[in-house]
Amino acid sequence: MKFGVIGTNFVSDFFMDGAALVEECEVVAVSDVSLELADTFAKKYKIPNTFDSYEKMLESNLIEAVYIAVPNGLHKEISMYFLERKIPVFCEKPLASNIDEVNEMFECAKRNNTYLQEGLIPLYNPNLKVVKELLPKLGKLHQVNFTFAKYSSRYDAYLRKENPSTFRADLSNGAIMDLGVYVIADVIALFGKPKKVISTAELLDTGADIAGASIFIYDDFVATLSYSKASDTKNLSEICGEHGTITIDQPSMPQEVIWYNRLAKEQTVVSEKPSENFYYEIKEMIACIKEGRIEGYSVPHQVSKDVHEVLTYCRKEAGIVFPADK
Q: Is the pLDDT of residue 230 over 90?
A: yes
Residue 149 confidence (pLDDT):
97
Residue 112 confidence (pLDDT):
98
Residue among 42, 123, 98 at smallest CA distance from 313: 98
Q: How far is the C-alpha of 203 from the C-alpha of 20, rounded, in Å?
A: 39
CB neighbour class for 255 (10 Å; exposed up to 12, middle 13-18, buried from 19): middle
CB neighbour class for 214 (10 Å; exposed up to 12, middle 13-18, buried from 19): buried
Q: How far is the C-alpha of 161 from the C-alpha of 175, rounded, in Å?
A: 18
Residue 297 confidence (pLDDT):
96
Q: How far is the C-alpha of 256 from the C-alpha of 273, rounded, in Å?
A: 8
* DSSP three-state, residue 203: strand
Residue 192 confidence (pLDDT):
97
65-68 vs 89-92, strand pairing mode: parallel
* DSSP three-state, residue 160: coil
Q: Is the pLDDT of residue 326 over 90?
A: no
Give strand ranges (E) for 186-292: 196-203, 209-217, 222-228, 237-241, 244-248, 257-261, 266-269
For the chain, domains (ranges, CATH) are 2-120+278-294 (3.40.50.720), 123-275+308-325 (3.30.360.10)
- Tens digits of residue pLDDT in 60-91: 999 999 999 999 999 999 999 999 999 999 99
Query: In whole angstroms, how far apart are CA 128 and each of 62, 121, 202, 257?
Result: 36, 10, 29, 9
* DSSP three-state, residue 135: helix
Query: In whole angstroms, how far apart are CA 80 and each of 87, 282, 311?
Result: 9, 20, 21
- pTM assigned to the model: 0.96
Average pLDDT, the chain: 97
Residues ≥6 apart with Cβ < 8 Å to 174: 166, 167, 204, 208, 209, 210, 320
- Tens digits of residue pLDDT in 241-284: 999 999 999 999 999 999 999 999 999 999 999 998 899 999 99
Pair 286, 2: CB distance under 8 Å: no
Q: Is the pLDDT of residue 235 over 90?
A: no
Residue 248 confidence (pLDDT):
98
